[in-house]
Each structure stands twice: as C-alpha cells, then as structure tokens.
Amino acid sequence: MAKERGTSMKALVREAAAADIVRHRALQEGAEVFRQFFTAHADEFAAAFPEDEPPAKGEGRVA
C-alpha cells in the first residue's frame, strides 16, 4: 500500500495512526453529544418508547 501511494511504511503507519486518533475523538465527541441530547429529552423518549423502559422498583418484568 505504501508503494502504491509512493510513500514509506513509516509515513503510512503515521498517517493511519493519526487518522485513527481523529476518528476515535470524533466518535467520543459524538457519543457525548448524543448522551446530552438523550438526557435532555429522556421523558420524550420514555413516552415514545415505553416498552424500552426498565420496570419501576417493585415491578417485575413479565415475559
């Protein structure tokens, strides 16, 4: 792959590592934005998807 790109293996590995770091950070930031959105709209999600809510204390889930 390095040869195809006209670069060294060292440069190829460096680019791949840098791209992976950027991707990882973007995924972390996206997950945090989603957590904040979900927390801010938890009641709306609960109303829209009641079957996904955990049972209240003292209530058993019937399968």
29-55: pLDDT as tens digits: 999 999 999 999 999 999 999 999 988
- Is residue 62 domain-resident? no
- Is residue 57 domain-resident? no
- Is residue 63 domain-resident? no
Q: How many H-runs (helices) and E-runs (strands) does the chain carry?
A: 3, 0
For 39, counting Cβ atoms within 10 Å of its Cβ (0-12 exposed, 13-18 middle, 19+ buried), the class is exposed
What domain count does the chain have? 1
Q: End-to-end alpha-carbon separation of the chain, Å? A: 53
State the pLDDT confidence band at 56, using cuts at 50, 70 and 90: confident
Decide which of 61 and 16 is more confident.
16
Contacts of 11 (CB under 8 A, 6+ apart): 2
3-36: pLDDT as tens digits: 999 999 999 999 999 999 999 999 999 999 999 9
> Containing domain of residue 9, as a range?
2-51
Confidence (pLDDT) at 55: 85
Question: CA 51, 53, 57, 63 torsion: positive or negative?
Answer: positive
